[in-house]
Structure formats: C-alpha cells, structure tokens
Chains A and B, each alone.
Chain A
Amino acid sequence: TQLLEQSPQFLSIQEGENLTVYCNSSSVFSSLQWYRQEPGEGPVLLVTVVTGGEVKKLKRLTFQFGDARKDSSLHITAAQPGDTGLYLCAGVNSGGGADGLTFGKGTHLIIQP
C-alpha cells in the first residue's frame, strides 16, 4: 500500500511569515498533486508536478517534486489569511488512468491576521 505522510499536521502562523509543508512517501509516484480544501467544500487542485526535481510557482506558492519522485514540498511566502485551509498532497499511481489518487492526511494551516 502506498502511503503519503504530510507534515506538519497543524500549523498556525502570523500573516506575513513564510512556511513550508512536506509530503513524503517510500513509494514512487508518476506525478503528485497538491490540493487546498476549505471548510464545507471539496478539495481544489493547486498544481500537478510530474518530473523529478520539478519546481512550479503559483504566485506566492512554490511547489517542488523530489528528484526520486517520492516527496514534495509546498512553500508559501508572505502568508495571508486567505491561505488558511487544509493542504492535501495526492499521489497519482499511473498515467491518469484507472487508479485512484492516494492522499496524505493533510496539513491544517491557519494564518492569523
């Protein structure tokens, strides 16, 4: 069974600070996705990383896929209260085909004004 471990589980910081959350696995995934989920809503895809060592930037969010395609990180610069939410990483087990996504348990992020 492929597992994704996310850390930290909870993180509460002040507005303007930087933070990094991690997603680690002992298994190799063909690609990895990051989602953000707000209360009462379903997860919304932020990014998909496919190539080992890949770095993608989305405004103040920087996503990195490990060289061995087993781990990933999400770095947020100058966090804002609107960044509050549950951040989930998900491993894609095959070429977007029949297998379901394997999710980590998520990082609950609270940005205090």
Chain B
Amino acid sequence: KAGVTQTPRYLIKTRGQQVTLSCSPISGHRSVSWYQQTPGQGLQFLFEYFSETQRNKGNFPGRFSGRQFSNSRSEMNVSTLELGDSALYLCASKSRSGFEAFFGQGTRLTVV
C-alpha cells in the first residue's frame, strides 16, 4: 500500500509569509503527527491529530497550527515565518493499535 505522502517536497518562502504543508497518511491510519527536524535541535514533536482532533501538542509557538480532515489527511500551517523556521517538516502516521510511526519524505522549508 502507498506510504505517507507529503507535499510539496521543497518550499522557499520569505520572512513574514505563511505556509501550508500537506500530509496524506497511509490508508486506514487515523493518527497523524508532525515533527520539525533541524541540525541543531534534531526531531521535535509539533502535534498529533486523531480523528480530526488534536490529541497532543509540542512546545512550539502558536504560529504553528494544524488540522486534520475527515479522510485523515492533515495540514500544518506556519504563519509569520521566521528564518529559524527553516527545517525539514516530517509527517508520520500510525495505525490505531500500532507503535510504529511511518514517516513521509518530508517538506524542506527554506525561509529567506
């Protein structure tokens, strides 16, 4: 079955702009988590959605938000972009009973 799909793969934005990233989980998976990966901080948890509800949130400012649709697809939005938001944003989906997180290839965001 198809894996986790993230679009777009690459983005370049200007400071102050906003951006929306998309994630389609593995078919049947209802849990979607988002992570930010940077060389300095590594992988940091942003938030998790399950059945359209945010279940947990990491320690990120309110400029980072997300949502999940009824078909389990998820989007995350970053408003008022800062240079420090440049990172690889990874989405992962899990089955209800599984521990394993299946990651997409990520979206590489560059803020200039």
Task: Check B92 against A96 for contact (C-beta < 8 Å).
Answer: no
- Is the CB of B4 closer than 8 A to any CB of chain A? yes
Contacts of A102 in B (CB 8 A): 45
How many residues on chain B are close to A (CB under 8 Å)? 29
Q: Decide if the interface of chain A is mainly helix, strand, loop or mixed.
A: loop
Given A42-B105, A45-B101, A104-B42, verify A98-B50 contact (CB < 8 Å): yes
Considering only residues 34-48 of chain A, those with a C-beta below 8 Å from chain B are: 35, 40-45, 48
**Chain B, 26-54, contact with A by CB distance < 8 Å: what is the 0/1 string?**
00000001010000011111111010000
Contacts A96-B98, A97-B55 aside, 13 further interface pairs with beta carbons under 8 A come to A42-B4, A42-B90, A42-B103, A44-B103, A48-B99, A96-B99, A98-B48, A100-B46, A101-B43, A102-B45, A103-B43, A105-B41, A106-B43
